């Protein structure tokens, strides 16, 4: 295994700091290995009661990106698994999407990539100050996994409160980036750089004909230009339910 492949595997195996409960937890347990086989990792599962039931599954590649094609591939892989498991018995809509620009922060690497940006953090247990909700700029992350600590420069601190706080990520209940102008600019810049890199990549004849390994190796040749990598807003929908009943054939008089 190459160093790059080992790094990707390690990123895929990085555990989340937060988890779901109830039906969403069952879906997450089912979805994680399916997504991992495709080279994605689970961000969040949420079951929403709006316009009927919607099962939202957020996923991403280890670098935090997700293409429209990635969402479609994940949806196609997850749909039959969810149908077989029958976790949700009623009709629902499956929505697979990227985490978005103002994304949930669920892994230590998420916080590390978000250094310098503003986030809203909620802990399961309050600090000695009695506060468990914070908003501020991420200044640094020390440690690994649940033993990591987050340095946050508060933007919601009163004049008599400490601006710089250290939050134990072992107590993370919810973390989310705030949609600021700086975050939007960085997101757009990253998307343009990725698109420029893809435009410059013109595989040679030998490279194009070389058999691929890993997820997607049985997929046919791609037609047209690949859809660009985008860090936010892509999603696909799938309708699942028993469907209309089939009409019964008329019975003959001799039956």
Work out the average pLDDT over 74-82.
95
Q: What is the CATH number of domain 3-101+182-199+226-240?
A: 3.30.300.70
Fold of 108-177: SH3 type barrels. (2.30.30)
User: How confident is the model over 151-186, as pLDDT tens digits?
Assistant: 999 999 999 999 999 999 999 999 999 999 999 998
Q: Where are the domains of the chain?
A: 3-101+182-199+226-240, 108-177
User: How confident is the model over 29-58, as pLDDT tens digits?
Assistant: 999 999 999 999 999 999 999 778 999 999
Residue 252 has pLDDT above 90, yes or no: no
- List the beta bridge partners of residue 153: 137, 164
pLDDT on residue 230:
43
pTM of the model: 0.76
Q: What percent of the chain has pLDDT over 70?
A: 72
8 A C-beta contact, residue 138 and residue 114? yes
What is the C-alpha to C-alpha distance for residues 86 and 88, in angstroms, rounded to an integer?
5
8 A C-beta contact, residue 106 and residue 18? yes
Residue 109 has pLDDT above 50, yes or no: yes
């Amino acid at each position: 295994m190459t160093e790059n492949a080992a790094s990707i595997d390690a990123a895929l195996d990085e555990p989340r700091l937060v988890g779901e409960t109830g039906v969403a937890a069952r879906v997450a347990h089912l979805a994680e290995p399916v997504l991992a086989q495709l080279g994605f990792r689970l961000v969040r599962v949420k079951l929403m009661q709006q316009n009927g039931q919607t099962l939202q599954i957020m996923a991403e590649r280890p670098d935090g990106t997700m293409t429209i094609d990635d969402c479609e591939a994940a949806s196609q892989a997850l749909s039959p698994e969810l149908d077989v498991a029958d976790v949700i018995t009623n009709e629902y809509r499956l929505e697979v999407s990227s985490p978005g620009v103002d994304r949930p922060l669920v892994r230590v690497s998420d916080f590390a990539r978000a250094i310098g940006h503003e986030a809203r953090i909620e802990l399961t247990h309050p600090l000695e100050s009695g506060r468990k909700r914070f908003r501020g700029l991420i200044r640094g992350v020390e440690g690994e996994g649940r033993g990591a600590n987050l340095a946050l420069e508060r933007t919601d601190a009163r004049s008599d409160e400490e601006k710089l706080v250290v939050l134990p990520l072992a107590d993370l209940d919810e973390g989310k980036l705030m949609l600021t102008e700086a975050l939007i600019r960085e997101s757009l810049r990253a998307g343009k750089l990725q698109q420029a890199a893809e435009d410059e990549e013109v595989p040679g004849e030998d490279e194009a004909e070389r058999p691929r390994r890993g997820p997607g190796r049985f997929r046919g040749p791609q037609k047209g230009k690949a859809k660009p990598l985008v860090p936010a807003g892509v999603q696909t929908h799938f309708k699942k339910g028993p469907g209309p009943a089939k009409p019964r054939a008329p019975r003959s008089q001799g039956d």
